[in-house]
Amino acid sequence: MTRPTAISACVICFQEADRIADCLRSLAFCDEIVVVDSGSTDGTREIAAALGARVVTNVPFPGHREQKQIAVDLATHDWVLCLDADERVTPELRARIEHLREAGLTGGGYEMPRRNHYLGRIVKAGLFWPDRKLRLFDRRVGHWGGTNPHDKVILDRGQRFVRLEDPIEHLSYRDFDHQLRTIDSFSRISAESLHAQGRRGRMIDLMVRPPAVFVKSLLLKRGFLDGWRGVLIATMAFYYDWLKYARLRRLSRASPTRYAQS
């Protein structure tokens, strides 16, 4: 008989005392929970430890993908289920994973949609749905990559993943001010990451990319079905892209010799 696949849950966090407990409780079916904290001072680490997680502090924060890979590397088991502190495994997803692990997890990994909450309501269209993420994977054939802060799991060439329909619950932003702070932080990190890769900030990016993401969110992905929330999501996507490329343009203009030599 096939033995059930052991799973390590991996979570990174910082100042998440109000949300970490629900996240970890949703992962209680896993064989272990590894939490890598970036130096929280609000009790996040203590809450996680009290719930049975193995808590490791890693400072200074090296970046989202790097911190998530550290959590994966610290895991005891090769199959890992990765969540952010504002995410939860839904009961239906838990049932699906438990059923799959009984037969033995196969392939490179499993992808699932995220059920995004936005300003008091679950949104069902636009950029926030289906918002699929590969979060359950075999670390022997996969790793965290992407460009910070937009990390993603990358599987080795030839490895395949299975698409599940059972969702992760994502609480998104605490409020609108939290979204604005996140946009400010993420656009800065993203611009710096692109700059480090040698990307230049061009005027064409400012003129084309923000309107394009607005149209994609509101019309092509039918964000208008979510009413004013859909319009606001599209507007904030426009603002994020504009801010990211404006900052990249400033970085490019501040170091012109770098691009002249490349």
pLDDT tens column, 95-112? 999 999 999 999 999 999
Alpha helices in 12-63 (DSSP H): 20-26, 44-50
Give the confidence band of 256 by pLDDT, cuts at 50, 70, 90.
low
Residue 48 covered by a domain:
yes
Residue 1 has pLDDT above 90, yes or no: no
Residue 28 covered by a domain:
yes
Say whether 154 sits in a helix, a strand or coil.
strand
Q: Which amino acid is at 206?
A: L
Q: Are 216 and 120 a contacting pair, CB within 8 Å?
A: no
Q: Please report the pLDDT score of residue 75 as a whole number.
A: 98
Regarding whether 162 and 82 lie in a shared domain, the answer is yes
Residue 121 has pLDDT above 80, yes or no: yes
Regarding whether 49 and 154 lie in a shared domain, the answer is yes
Residue 72, H or E segment: helix 64-74
Regarding whether 141 and 55 lie in a shared domain, the answer is yes
Q: Please report the pLDDT score of residue 57 as a whole number.
A: 98
User: Which runs of E-coded beta strand occur in 90-147?
Assistant: 109-112, 114-118, 121-122, 133-138, 142-147
Residue 234 covered by a domain:
yes
Give the confidence band of 3 by pLDDT, cuts at 50, 70, 90.
confident
Regarding whether 184 and 151 lie in a shared domain, the answer is no
Residue 38 covered by a domain:
yes
Q: What is the pLDDT of residues 151-195, one digit of tens each?
A: 999 999 999 999 999 999 999 999 999 999 999 999 999 999 999
Say whether 221 sits in a helix, a strand or coil.
coil
Q: Please report the pLDDT score of residue 67 as a whole number.
A: 98
Last residue of a domain, one of 125, 147, 170: 170
- Mean pLDDT for the stretch of residues 123-137: 97
Regarding whether 96 and 187 lie in a shared domain, the answer is no
Give the confidence band of 16 by pLDDT, cuts at 50, 70, 90.
very high
Regarding whether 190 and 166 lie in a shared domain, the answer is no
Residue 72 covered by a domain:
yes
Residue 262 has pLDDT above 50, yes or no: no
Residue 262 covered by a domain:
no
* Domain residue limits at 219: 176-256
- Count of domains observed in the chain: 2
- pTM for the whole structure: 0.93
